[in-house]
Amino acid sequence: MVGLILLGCAAHIQGVVVEDAVRDAEGTDWRVDGLDAQLIRQLDECTVSIDGRRVGKRVVVEDWSVLAAADGSAPYLGLAREHGNNVVLDDRNSGSTLILQSSTEDLKGLAGHQVLVVGYVAAPHVVMVMGWQLLD
Protein backbone atom coordinates (compact mmCIF):
# COMPACT_ATOMS: atom_id res chain seq x y z
CA MET A 1 0.00 0.00 0.00
CA VAL A 2 1.37 3.41 -0.96
CA GLY A 3 0.74 6.37 1.37
CA LEU A 4 0.09 9.87 0.08
CA ILE A 5 2.10 12.69 1.63
CA LEU A 6 0.89 16.19 0.86
CA LEU A 7 3.55 18.71 1.85
CA GLY A 8 2.46 21.70 -0.17
CA CYS A 9 4.52 24.26 -2.04
CA ALA A 10 6.35 27.19 -0.54
CA ALA A 11 4.21 30.32 -0.72
CA HIS A 12 4.55 34.02 -0.10
CA ILE A 13 1.18 35.76 0.17
CA GLN A 14 0.70 39.49 0.61
CA GLY A 15 -2.77 40.90 0.94
CA VAL A 16 -5.57 42.34 3.04
CA VAL A 17 -7.31 40.38 5.78
CA VAL A 18 -11.00 40.05 4.90
CA GLU A 19 -13.39 37.92 6.95
CA ASP A 20 -11.49 34.65 7.52
CA ALA A 21 -9.07 34.96 4.61
CA VAL A 22 -6.28 37.03 3.10
CA ARG A 23 -7.16 38.57 -0.27
CA ASP A 24 -4.16 39.10 -2.54
CA ALA A 25 -3.76 41.73 -5.30
CA GLU A 26 -5.33 39.39 -7.87
CA GLY A 27 -8.47 39.02 -5.75
CA THR A 28 -7.77 35.45 -4.63
CA ASP A 29 -8.87 34.64 -1.08
CA TRP A 30 -6.39 32.47 0.83
CA ARG A 31 -7.52 30.61 3.94
CA VAL A 32 -4.87 30.80 6.67
CA ASP A 33 -4.06 27.90 8.98
CA GLY A 34 -1.30 27.22 11.46
CA LEU A 35 -0.16 28.46 14.85
CA ASP A 36 -0.89 32.17 14.36
CA ALA A 37 -3.86 31.81 12.01
CA GLN A 38 -6.42 32.84 14.65
CA LEU A 39 -4.42 35.98 15.42
CA ILE A 40 -4.08 36.89 11.73
CA ARG A 41 -7.83 36.42 11.12
CA GLN A 42 -8.54 39.15 13.69
CA LEU A 43 -6.57 41.79 11.76
CA ASP A 44 -9.54 42.99 9.69
CA GLU A 45 -8.52 45.25 6.80
CA CYS A 46 -4.82 45.12 7.75
CA THR A 47 -2.25 44.31 5.06
CA VAL A 48 -0.16 41.27 5.96
CA SER A 49 2.75 39.36 4.49
CA ILE A 50 2.70 35.58 5.02
CA ASP A 51 5.29 32.91 4.29
CA GLY A 52 4.30 29.28 4.55
CA ARG A 53 3.16 26.21 2.69
CA ARG A 54 0.38 26.37 0.14
CA VAL A 55 -2.11 23.56 -0.21
CA GLY A 56 -4.83 24.50 -2.69
CA LYS A 57 -6.33 27.84 -1.58
CA ARG A 58 -4.94 27.41 1.94
CA VAL A 59 -1.68 28.67 3.43
CA VAL A 60 -0.16 27.08 6.53
CA VAL A 61 1.57 30.03 8.19
CA GLU A 62 5.24 29.67 9.11
CA ASP A 63 6.19 33.37 9.38
CA TRP A 64 4.22 36.59 8.97
CA SER A 65 4.18 40.35 9.60
CA VAL A 66 1.72 43.22 9.49
CA LEU A 67 2.62 45.75 6.81
CA ALA A 68 -0.18 48.28 7.34
CA ALA A 69 -3.13 48.84 9.64
CA ALA A 70 -6.62 49.46 8.24
CA ASP A 71 -5.89 53.20 8.14
CA GLY A 72 -2.69 52.64 6.13
CA SER A 73 -0.29 53.42 8.98
CA ALA A 74 2.50 51.11 10.11
CA PRO A 75 1.16 49.40 13.25
CA TYR A 76 2.87 47.75 16.18
CA LEU A 77 1.76 44.27 17.21
CA GLY A 78 2.71 42.02 20.06
CA LEU A 79 2.30 41.07 23.68
CA ALA A 80 1.76 44.04 25.99
CA ARG A 81 3.12 43.72 29.52
CA GLU A 82 3.82 45.85 32.56
CA HIS A 83 7.42 46.84 33.19
CA GLY A 84 7.70 49.01 36.29
CA ASN A 85 5.24 51.87 35.87
CA ASN A 86 5.13 51.44 32.09
CA VAL A 87 3.19 49.26 29.71
CA VAL A 88 5.55 47.93 27.07
CA LEU A 89 4.97 46.05 23.83
CA ASP A 90 7.26 43.36 22.46
CA ASP A 91 6.78 44.36 18.81
CA ARG A 92 6.51 41.38 16.47
CA ASN A 93 7.61 43.24 13.34
CA SER A 94 10.76 44.94 14.65
CA GLY A 95 11.71 42.68 17.55
CA SER A 96 12.01 45.78 19.74
CA THR A 97 10.44 46.47 23.10
CA LEU A 98 8.46 49.71 22.94
CA ILE A 99 7.09 51.81 25.77
CA LEU A 100 3.41 52.65 25.19
CA GLN A 101 2.11 56.04 26.28
CA SER A 102 -1.27 57.74 26.01
CA SER A 103 -2.38 61.22 27.02
CA THR A 104 -6.04 60.18 27.29
CA GLU A 105 -6.27 56.72 28.84
CA ASP A 106 -4.61 54.26 31.20
CA LEU A 107 -3.05 51.45 29.18
CA LYS A 108 -2.53 49.04 32.11
CA GLY A 109 -5.54 46.99 30.94
CA LEU A 110 -3.58 45.96 27.83
CA ALA A 111 -0.95 44.09 29.85
CA GLY A 112 -1.04 40.36 29.26
CA HIS A 113 -2.84 40.64 25.91
CA GLN A 114 -1.84 40.43 22.27
CA VAL A 115 -2.59 43.89 20.90
CA LEU A 116 -2.40 45.87 17.65
CA VAL A 117 -1.35 49.47 18.32
CA VAL A 118 -1.58 52.46 15.98
CA GLY A 119 0.44 55.47 17.01
CA TYR A 120 3.54 57.52 16.37
CA VAL A 121 7.09 57.51 17.70
CA ALA A 122 7.39 60.18 20.41
CA ALA A 123 10.98 59.36 21.42
CA PRO A 124 13.38 56.44 20.93
CA HIS A 125 11.43 53.25 21.76
CA VAL A 126 8.40 55.28 22.91
CA VAL A 127 5.09 55.11 21.00
CA MET A 128 2.24 57.55 21.62
CA VAL A 129 -0.85 55.36 21.26
CA MET A 130 -3.61 56.77 19.05
CA GLY A 131 -5.66 53.56 18.92
CA TRP A 132 -5.47 49.89 19.76
CA GLN A 133 -7.25 46.56 19.30
CA LEU A 134 -7.11 43.50 21.57
CA LEU A 135 -6.39 40.38 19.52
CA ASP A 136 -6.86 37.53 21.99
For position 117, which CATH number holds? 2.40.50.430
Kindly report which listed range (7-11, 27-31, 85-89, 115-119) carries the lowest average pLDDT score: 7-11
Helix, strand, or coil here: 38? helix
Domain containing 48 equals 9-68
Q: Has residue 103 been placed in a domain?
A: yes
Task: Categorize the per-residue pLDDT at 8 as very low, low, confident or very high, splitting at 50, 70 and 90.
Answer: low
Number of folded domains that form the chain = 2
pLDDT in tens, 107-130: 999 999 999 999 999 999 999 999
Q: Has residue 3 been placed in a domain?
A: no
For residue 133, the model assigns a pLDDT of 93
Q: Has residue 84 been placed in a domain?
A: yes
Same domain, 120 and 92: yes
| pTM for the whole structure | 0.84
Alpha-carbon span 22 to 112, nearest angstrom: 27
AA letter at 10:
A
Boundary residue ending a domain (52, 68, 84): 68
The 8-class DSSP code of residue 109 comes to G
Boundary residue ending a domain (28, 47, 68): 68
pLDDT in tens, 49-98: 999 999 999 999 999 999 999 999 999 999 999 999 999 999 998 999 99
The yes-or-no verdict on residue 9 having pLDDT over 90 is: no
The yes-or-no verdict on residue 20 having pLDDT over 90 is: no
The yes-or-no verdict on residue 36 having pLDDT over 80 is: yes
Radius of gyration of the chain (CA): 17
Q: Has residue 33 been placed in a domain?
A: yes
For residue 7, the model assigns a pLDDT of 59
For residue 12, the model assigns a pLDDT of 94
